[in-house]
Amino acid sequence: MAMNRAQKRYSVSVMLLMAGYVLILLGVVAYHDNHPLHGPLGYVAGLLPAFPVIGVFFVLGRYLVEERDEYLRMQVTRQALIATGFAMSIATAWGFLENFDLVPHVYAYYAAILWFAGLGLGACINKLAAMRGGGE
C-alpha cells in the first residue's frame, strides 16, 4: 500500500530524528569517555540525546493532526494510547517497587523505551483487531 503525504512526512521525520539521535548519542558518549562532564557543558551534553526522542513525540502529534484518513488516525491514536498505558503502568509499578527497595534503580529515560515498545504492542493489537473484524 502506498503511503500518503502525512505518512511519508512522519516516516522521513522519524528516520532523520533517529539518525540524529544515534550520532548525538555516539558523540556524547565518546566525549564523556575522554572528558569528565560537569557544569553547564555537562548539562548540555546530557540533554542533547533527549532532543531527538522528544522530537519523535512531536512528530507523532503532527502526524495525527495532518492525517486526513479517519481510520488511519484512529489506528495510530489507539496505538499511542496503548503505548502510553503500557509505559506508564510499568513505570508506576516499578517506581513503587523501587521506593521500597525491592528492585534496582532504573534511569527515567527507560519510560520512553517502554513507550516505543508499547507502540509495537499497539500495532500488534491493531492488527489482531483488524483480523477479527473489529478494527474500528
Domain range list for the chain: 1-52, 69-136
pLDDT score, position 36: 87
pLDDT in tens, 58-104: 999 999 999 999 999 999 999 999 999 999 999 999 999 999 999 99
DSSP state, residue 35: S
- Who's near 52: CB < 8 A, 6+ residues apart? 17, 18, 20, 21, 24
- Who's near 55: CB < 8 A, 6+ residues apart? 13, 17
pLDDT tier at 108 (50, 70, 90 boundaries)?
very high
Sequence-ordered alpha helix ranges (H) in the chain: 5-34, 39-47, 50-66, 70-99, 110-131
pLDDT score, position 1: 73
- Who's near 122: CB < 8 A, 6+ residues apart? 78, 79, 80, 81, 82, 83, 86
- Whole-prediction pTM value? 0.89
DSSP state, residue 46: H
